[in-house]
Amino acid sequence: MTILYAKSFKPEDGDTAIRVIRLVGTSGTATTADARVFHYRFYCELDTSEPRAVSIDMTPGADGRTGVLYIASTGRVNTESALWIAFEVVPTKPITVSELVQFYKMKGFDRFRFNEEGAGCRSYSKKVLAGLESDCYVPSGTEARLVQWSDEKRKLLPENIPERWDEGEYY
């Protein structure tokens, strides 16, 4: 069963094309016991004249493991966190927010369970980007670039980015 929370999503954003997809890791929002570890979510910058974005965030629900897919319209790609990093990719073919949400459902990315420690968002995000790459929505090599980018950032921020890519499970 999909658990989707879209109370803060503006329906008019659904038909809007995505200009840039950013995977943002932030401190202080970790889903694990160590709040220094980054939590990752996507911000989709919309192709509009005014700054607008949609946040897509898979985060553990009340049981600490079952993922809830949060979709929210925001004024811009931002974070309240003092420490954050972002990996950016430009779609290779047009995709709207509604099409991206359908893609999540079609690929099963809307049904995710975090591991026992409540970790897995970075690995989850990597699989989403790999799926987008496989379906030619982002450039070839995006998944490999993400791994390289993460390795480089981990050298600078080792307490925020674990060496291992914690896995969850899809159901």
- Stretches in the chain below the pLDDT threshold 50: none
CA torsion through residues 57, 110, 87, 63, sign? positive
- Alpha carbons 113 and 96: distance in angstroms, whole number: 26
**pLDDT for res 117:** 86
**pLDDT for res 34:** 72
Q: Which two tokens stand for residue 136?
A: 């030619």
**pLDDT for res 146:** 98
Contact 151, 145 (CB under 8 A): no
- Alpha carbons 55 and 14: distance in angstroms, whole number: 12
**pLDDT for res 79:** 60
**pLDDT for res 29:** 67
Q: What pTM does this model have?
A: 0.93
Q: Which two tokens stand for residue 107?
A: 């690929």
**pLDDT for res 75:** 80
Q: For residue 12, is it left (φ>0), alpha (ψ between -120 and 50) or beta? A: alpha
Q: Residues 76-87, buried b or exposed e (16+ Cβ, 10 A)?
A: ebebeeeebbbb
Look at the block and give the residue holding tokens 């914690």.
Answer: 166
**pLDDT for res 82:** 67
**pLDDT by residue (tens digit) across 12-38?**
999 999 999 999 998 876 566 677 889
- Alpha carbons 24 and 166: distance in angstroms, whole number: 17
Q: Which residues pair with residue 84 across a beta bridge?
A: 26
H/E stretch holding 89: strand 84-89
**pLDDT for res 140:** 98
**pLDDT for res 31:** 64
